[in-house]
Amino acid sequence: MLTPHAHQRMQQRAIPMASIELLLAFGQSDFHRGREVVFFGKGAWQRAKRCISRIPERFRRHYLVLDGGEVVTVGHRYRHFRRDRR
């Protein structure tokens, strides 16, 4: 489920729904500022490429933020996330 904010960010940042679906299916998750962040780490990207060989390389930089199973926002990753130490 997408929030209206996430839908707006998808349009503004030209992130297709296919990328969101791949992240939810194959993405690696971690916590940042108390929210779950899903992104393609090295292993997650390799698993996705094994299953679907024609994934655009630009999808690798996409991420999404989940709150209670709902996609809150999406974006392009251009640097590492600081991880919460739990």
pLDDT in tens, 12-32: 999 999 999 999 999 999 888
Q: Smallest Cα–Cα separation from 22: which of 43, 49, 4?
A: 49
User: In this predicted structure, what is the pLDDT of residue 51?
Assistant: 92
| pTM score of the predicted model | 0.86
Q: What is d(CA 37, CA 76) in angstroms, rounded to the nearest whole number? A: 12
User: In this predicted structure, what is the pLDDT of residue 1?
Assistant: 86
User: In this predicted structure, what is the pLDDT of residue 37?
Assistant: 93
